[in-house]
Amino acid sequence: MAILQANRISKHFDGLVAVNKVSFVLNPGEILGLIGPNGAGKTTVVNMIAGVYPPTEGEIHFKGKPIHGLKPYRIGRMGIARTFQVVKPFPGMTVKENVAVGAMFGARGKRRSAKEAMEKAEEVLEFVGLADQKDRRADQLGVAFRKRLEMAKALAMSPDVVLFDEVMAGLNFGEIDQAVQMIQKIRHSGITILVIEHVMRAIKNLCDRVFVLHHGEKIADGPVEEVLNDENVIKAYLGKRFKELTH
Ligand SMILES: Nc1ncnc2c1ncn2[C@@H]1O[C@H](COP(=O)(O)OP(=O)(O)OP(=O)(O)O)[C@@H](O)[C@H]1O
């Protein structure tokens, strides 16, 4: 059974149809990619899953239960965590304190005390390789560490599913490869992943399957190689130079 399933979800902002009747499944243990041009509706899909706003129509089920329309904190507690495209660490707080805040939410319904949250933060910072940065002020980190902190905050919620929204934007090649390895390690720890990314090198190295949005509609869904070679996808998103860049 799918761990997460969206059934014909749409989001309308006044007159704008940002997402139009999109369906997809996320199977336990897989890494599913979501790609598409700027403004295609990718973040809107993540926001609907995470409960930032409800779908205008359609349903979302997590572990067989409906979650559309629930508040973000309830969805977090059920076991879905997400990162934000624009990374905003809590100002004035250390790296460890930022992660501890994540640890106090989520936790699959369990409440953590401040002490337990700090312990969980230590564990997660070790996992993502930020242990030696833990006492720095989070707003003083460079972009690669900030992205890793964003991942750590999500992991501190002990989620079953993580939605990664462009965690590689602004990274150099070496940092992208490190982020790819990190996401593989997260999958091996038993977490199911949806990843939104413009970095095709990462999509190719990470994903089992990928689906493509264009003007809010799903235009392709399938194994990565197949989708990235699909004529419609190349025309709508990847462009002619894609093959030269990635082959
Ligand atoms: N809160 C909002 N109010 C009004 N319009 C919105 C809102 N959020 C998104 N939109 C619009 O919905 C469309 C889809 O936006 P979305 O951010 O989901 O695209 P995206 O695929 O994530 O793009 P990008 O790759 O640039 O992040 C865009 O036209 C955007 O301007």
215 CA from centroid of ligand 1 (Å)? 10
- Ligand 1 atom 2, closest CA: 13
For tokens 């996320």, name the residue.
26
For tokens 């401040």, name the residue.
114
75-101 burial, b at 16+ Cβ within 10 Å, e below that, comes to bbbbbbbbbeeebebeeeebbbbbbbe
Rounded to two decimals, the ipTM of the complex is 0.96
| CB within 8 Å of 63: residues ≥ 6 apart | 3, 78, 79, 160
- pLDDT above 80 for 69: yes
The reported pLDDT for the residue numbered 222 is 97
Alpha-helix residue ranges (DSSP H) falling in the chain? 42-50, 72-78, 95-104, 114-127, 143-155, 173-188, 200-206, 224-228, 231-233, 241-246
pLDDT digits (tens, 9 = 90+) for 199-216: 998 999 999 999 999 999
Domains of the chain, first to last: 1-79+161-247 (3.40.50.300), 86-159 (no CATH)
The ligand 1 atom nearest the CA atom of 11: 12
pLDDT digits (tens, 9 = 90+) for 117-142: 999 999 999 999 999 999 999 999 99
| Span of 42-56, 102-116, 208-222 with lowest mean pLDDT | 102-116
Residues with C-beta less than 6 Å from any ligand 1 atom: 13, 16, 18, 36, 38-44, 85
The reported pLDDT for the residue numbered 107 is 58
Average pLDDT, stretch 164-182? 93
Burial of residue 190, with CB atoms counted within 10 A of its CB: 0-12 exposed, 13-18 middle, 19 or more buried: exposed
Q: Which of 31, 25, 13, 37 is nearest to 217 (CA)?
A: 37
49 CA from centroid of ligand 1 (Å)? 15
The reported pLDDT for the residue numbered 180 is 96
The reported pLDDT for the residue numbered 94 is 94
Average pLDDT, stretch 92-113? 81
Average pLDDT, stretch 27-49? 96
| Span of 22-31, 64-73, 90-99, 235-244 with lowest mean pLDDT | 235-244
CA separation for the pair 11, 29 (Å, rounded): 27
87 CA from centroid of ligand 1 (Å)? 17
**Best of 19, 22, 42 to mutate for ligand 1, by most ligand atoms within 8 A of CB?**
42
Of the pLDDT bands very low, low, confident and very high (cuts 50, 70, 90), residue 86 is confident
